[in-house]
Amino acid sequence: MVAPVNIIVGSHVWIEDPGLAWIDGEVVKINGEEVHVQTTNGKTAVAKIANVFPKDMEALPGGVDDMTKLSYLHEPGVLQNLAMRYELNEIYTYTGNILIAVNPFQRLPHLYDTHMMEQYKGAGFGELSPHVFAIAEVAYRAMINEGKSNSILVSGESGAGKTETTKMLMRYLAYLGGRSGVEGRTVEQQVLESNPVLEAFGNAKTLRNNNSSRFGKFVELQFDRSGRISGAAVRTYLLERSRVCQISDPERNYHCFYLLCAAPPEEREKFKLGDPKSYHYLNQSKCYKLDGVDDTEEYLATRRAMDIVGISEEEQDAIFRVVAAILHLGNVEFAKGKEIDSSVLKDDKSRFHLEATAELLRCNAKSLEDALIKRAMITPEEVIIKTLDPDSATGSRDALAKTIYSRLFDWLVDKINNSIGQDPNSKTIIGVLDIYGFESFKTNSFEQFCINFTNEKLQQHFNQHVFKMEQEDYTKEEINWSYIEFVDNKDVLELIEKKPGGVIALLDEACMFPKSTHETFAQKLYQTFKNSKRFTKPKLSRTSFAISHYAGEVTYQADLFLDKNKDYVVAEHQDLLIASSDTFVAGLFPRLAEETSSKTKFSSIGSRFKLQLQSLMETLNSTEPHYIRCVKPNNVLKPAIFENLNVIQQLRCGGVLEAIRISCAGYPTKRTFYEFLNRFGVLAPDVLEGNCDDKVACRMLLDKIGLKGYELGKTKVFLRAGQMAELDARRAEVLGNAARRIQRQSRTFIARKEFRALRGAAIVLQSNCRGKLACNLYEEMRRHAAAVKIQKSFRRHIARESYLRIRHSAITVQTALRGMVARNEFRFRKQMKAATIVQARLRSHLAHSYYKKLQKAALSTQCGWRSRVARKELRTLKMAARDTGALREAKDKLEKRVEELTWRLQLEKRQRTELEEAKSQEYAKQQEALQAMRLEVEEANAAVIREREAARKAIEEAPPVIKETPVLVEDTEKINSLTSEVEALKASLESERQAAENLRKAFSEAEARNSELATELENATRKADQLHESVQRLEEKLSNSESEIQVLRQQALAMSPTSRTTPMRSKTMLLPRTPENGSLLNGETKTTPDMALSVREPESEEKPQKYLNEKQQENQDLLVKCISQNLGYAGGKPVAACVIYKCLLHWRSFEVERTSVFDRIIQTIASAIEVPDNNEVLAYWLSNSATLLLLLQRTLKATGAASLTPQRRRTTSASLFGRMQGIRASPQSAGHSFLNRQALTKLDDLRQVEAKYPALLFKQQLTAFLEKIYGMIRDNLKKEISPLLGLCIQAPRTSRGSLVKGRAQANAVAQQALIAHWQSIRKSLNSYLNLMKANNAPPFVVRKVFTQIFSFINVQLFNSLLLRRECCSFSNGEYVKAGLAELEQWCGEATDEYAGSAWDELRHIRQAVGFLVIHQKPKKTLDEVTRDLCPVLSIQQLYRISTMYWDDKYGTHSVSSDVIANMRVMMTEDSNNAVSSSFLLDDDSSIPFTVEDISKSMQQVDVNDIEPPQLIRENSGFGFLLTRKEGSAS
């Protein structure tokens, strides 16, 4: 990072802060090289201008996913970007092609589920959000496309998440190229299952991590030529062997020691172990237990993991015996012996541990003691035995412990590799390196030196790769980069590993001299590297030295360097363990040829470390590297805490900032032409008005500004460090001038507005004063007018009151007079009306009495006649009932009984006919009598009317006063006489009514008996009809059985060699029913001694059966040939389905046990749909299979249901006479008459038949084909619209002309371009809809197709929206909303019949887009967002959209930080409650309907009127397909 330029007063900058690493603020003063900054925490800080860096004020609130897109690529910008993304749970960020992974310290399962893997599969790098899957995808695709091995280097300090990242990488690589391994476990699973074992023996607690890997692990996934995983291997590097013997507080030794000490009591007793505090190798630190870890459970888990890996029980016991032996060995202490420089065991405790060690290693205790305290020196003359002093013996003990443990770890790795299995023929691999990161503590010893040496090597490899990537970028863009310098750390590596003058070489040299000490070693380093810039000597220490690494200076304490570096391969140790009686222990130390001589060979850990590191680098150099840098955001290992100082230190240690320095050495700022013009076009608006190319426009703009040193590539502008700040300063100046101009205009407008307001107020005040004066004048005039009006009204009121009193008196007098006259008139008319009513009632009674007498006589006559007829009919019915009962006695009397019954029915019919005729004659006579009575009644009425008229005239002519009394007397006498007569008539009427009631009851009883007899007769005839049908079915089955028996008999005779030698054997044969022998019930047999017929009869009966089979086969061939063609539709019904159904029903194929017609039909359908892209054929067979399945669903029933429903509907004549005629028909014509009746009635009237197994299997196969065709049509439509959906999710970019001329025209063009893609989707939808309509596909199935298609559109658009940040913008939401309107319009045009609820399937993308385009998001509360705006979206989805949203149109913000925080809390609660936190949707590709759904949704299909195809129309075997009219015409 170079010194910034153009820092002026008012600039927003970053300055260093001791607590926050970097803090932002505003420049308030510049004094030479000093800058005064007002920070955001309210303090004022002073810093040198070289240490101040500009801040990008236009940075997106959610940061950028690739830090090369930062306007200012410097340390504080990188830190701020990571912090903003970590706050939003965006833990992955790119820096070019390097992935930075910040440990979230919480489970984020939605980032690693199968849906996420599906999204990244095949996606280009950078197309989706940063992810570890993207790195694995790039490595895998590079391996497949280029055929070169790749490696992924995962680095970071302890607790940064390296192991979890490695697991995710292997999971994804196994997903891409997985292959089942041994016992059904994948290679990836086997590698992961080995982790607990390796962690138990290779991990330990350090200062920063409770489970730190103290070795490097390189997992090789081997692939075959097709890209499938064919094997794997785990390579381990750089195991920290010194930890076995030496640990510092508060660290721990390797986990396995503590696990074994926490084993069950019987295990500890077997290994003679006790409390871990009692062992020297463990009690050097006071830390024995880890928080939240149960060592006993971990021990059992490790044993289970060993079982899974394939380590046997015996081998496990041997492993832990060795571990226990190392613990006991560490407690062996030595004291000075009697001789000089000799040593012996210190005490009995040491003796006990020595013997325990020898017992566990299965070796001799004395030999073990001698190997520890004695050395054999071989001279030409003799072998000299030398004893060791206590210190040397202790060193020998520790060397043996480290050697045993190292060999044990190597054996475990080899065992795991053998269990996984490797592919020796594999040419390509993808390696995943998980190795410890750079370490710098307060006290740094030999372990930190080796680790940092490793990281220096890896950093050199990393720098070369980054520089190579920069070169490739510059070469791709064709810019000049030859003058860019590359920062290398070669001098540090030479200082460490150079021979003979490197640190490691000097350390080995010091270890080889017995009298060397750490002080002499340190002095040697001081002398050797006194002129090195990378090496310094601390002032206050005599044994410490400091090395300036790429990540910073580290001070090492050389006190224990010599002890930790010594790794003697002692011949006595080798011989001792080779001689062990335990094959496992002996196998850890194979005898090598060069080690046969009995002498001590020196081998330093540092040298071995360097060799292993060299091997690792050779492996990495042979592969294409990819880098993942894991970062631990805090040291408390808790989520949502981002410690700037900790992260910036890790970025330095991880080489990320070094990569930034390399980038800054060239062109750190890279912008596409569009982005550059969009940001800095305001500096030269006239350049944008032209029609020149973007590249030319960028050059003209930069030349006009006067910027030097930039480069223009093919698609990007490359700027030197500091040039972006200069451009931003100029841009800020231009925008500031524009802002001041806007402020000036705004203030003018505000002042003029205030003036107009004051002037308006004055005018309003004047108007109010004048209005008040006018109101007072008006009030006075109004009062005067009111007084005049009151006087006028009062005078008028007095005059009107006088008039009304006079008028009321006159009306009262007139009313009284008129009322008296009216009451008199009313009284007279009432009397006249009463007299008239009495006369009318009397005359009516006379006429009614006469009519009742006539009616009674008629009823008596009818009842007598009907009872006589009923008695005759009863006798006839009783005789018929007895005749009907006789039908059940015997079959040979059936026809005779039926004939008698028929005769009786005909007789009854004739009697009924005669009775009806007699009834009609009687009815006619009664009608005539009734007519005569009606005439008499009419004449009587006329006479009454005439008398009434005469009386009225007489009353009118006579004076009313004189004749009043006589008339009343005369009327009274007449009324009395009439009343007596009425009473007499009532009595006679009552008697007649009683008689009629008796007759009616008798008649109803006769009718009831008659109806009962008729019911009995009907039941008898019905039973006879059923008996006839059962007989007919038995005859048909009998005939089929006879034909089958004849064929079988012939085959038996043909195969039996003794058929002719047994002529006297009696044979039983089934005789067909003929008129001569009568009908045989239930397959009765006749036995005949005639043996001659037994040979000749089968031959004669085989021919017709064979002819029938051949004819049926020809008909089936013709049917298959016919349906293989496109038969089209008739009246909206598929002809092929109807023809198939008619033929199968007529041939009774559903009821046979074996037939091939079903298989042939299925094969025909299968061959027709072999081409999956022929949608026309698929739609045709979709319609036919659905219709045929509907017919089968409503026709077939299981065999066991025969007793519940009739086998088929009765199709004979409905009349009793017709049924009797059918029963009387000859038995020979029974089968022919059945077919004729089926043809003459509704042939295809759906009737349920008992389906056998072939029919049910055919139905299942047809269902499977329907689902397959449905899926093929749906998938074809998905395949057609998938590329269009990728174009529809993101709006096209605005053209350069819109930057100056405005957005209206550009938006219109972009809208048209986007709508064109949506219209293409509409065109595809319409094409498929019209195709299925043309083929009469069931609307129910069509609805399901489009419902799933819209669900697919919803899933694709919504998932793309959540995975691509550039899509979560305001303008993009507007574009997608316009496209969704197109789909809504299509749904309206398609109608609910075919579209159904398809529009509702888009609810996720509709609500997400609605959220993007809504205004004033910061004012929305969480309830409003979750309940009103987006009720369907989950909290994870809302959080994702809210954090990824950016407004590229108006510059507004997303929802408030409080809403984001509440969402995060809810997400945490959901994760604690085991609620799925996946924010991606899943596409449902299942079949969304069943056969019952189709049966319920489709209407009844009438196959009656289907015209047979021309191919089978003229064939006599298909005559049953003709309609009734055609059949009768033929």
* Residues with a known catalytic role: 158-159, 163, 209, 212-213, 437, 439
Task: State the amino acid at position 169 in one-letter form.
Answer: L
Residue 334's DSSP bridge partners are 345
Cα distance between residue 558 and residue 525, in whole Å: 10
Q: Containing H/E element for 479?
A: none
Q: Is residue 1485 within 8 Å of residue 1461, measured between CB atoms?
A: no
Instruction: Quote the crossing angle between the two packed helices 390-420 and 365-373, to the nearest 10°.
Output: 120
Cα distance between residue 433 and residue 151, in whole Å: 7
Residue 556's DSSP bridge partners are 444, 545
Residue with tokens 């390579």: 235
Residue 648's SS3 state is helix
Beta strands in 1094-1193 (DSSP E): 1129-1130, 1133-1134
Cα distance between residue 1486 and residue 1475, in whole Å: 24
What number of CA atoms fall less than 13 Å from residue 608's CA on the CB side?
18
Cα distance between residue 797 and residue 791, in whole Å: 10
Q: Is residue 1178 within 8 Å of residue 1169, measured between CB atoms?
A: yes
List the structure tokens of 636. 């408390």
Q: What are phi and psi of 1472, to 5 degrees?
A: -70, -30
Q: Is residue 165 within 8 Å of residue 172, measured between CB atoms?
A: no
Cβ atoms within 10 Å, residue 1458: 11
List the structure tokens of 141. 């695709």
Cα distance between residue 1476 and residue 1453, in whole Å: 29
Write the CA distances from 1482 to 634, 1068, 1355, integer angstroms: 35, 70, 7
Instruction: Quote the crossing angle between the two packed helices 673-680 and 723-885, to the nearest 10°.
Output: 120
Is the torsion defined by CA of 915, 916, 922, 925 positive or negative? negative
Residue 552's DSSP bridge partners are 549
List the structure tokens of 1494. 């189709």
**Would you list the DSSP string of 451-478?**
HHHHHHHHHHHHHHHHHHHHHHHHHHHT
Cα distance between residue 1028 and residue 1024, in whole Å: 6
Write the CA distances from 646 to 633, 641, 1077, integer angstroms: 7, 11, 111
State the distance between the two ends of the chain, measured CA to CA, in whole angstroms. 103
Task: State the amino acid at position 513 in one-letter form.
Answer: F
Query: Shortest CA distance to 558 belongs to which of 517, 607, 501, 515?
Result: 517
Q: What are phi and psi of 838, to 5 degrees?
A: -60, -45
The pairing of strands 544-549 and 552-557 is antiparallel
Beta strands in 790-855 (DSSP E): none
126: left (phi over 0), alpha (psi -120 to 50) or beta: left
Non-local (6+) Cβ contacts of 801 within 8 A are none
Bond preceding residue 625 cis, omega within 30 of 0 = no
Cβ atoms within 10 Å, residue 391: 10
SS (H, E, C) 842-860: HHHHHHHHHHHHHHHHHHH
Is the torsion defined by CA of 1164, 1168, 1170, 1172 positive or negative? negative
From the number of C-beta atoms within 10 Å of its C-beta (0-12, 13-18, 19+), residue 46 rates as exposed
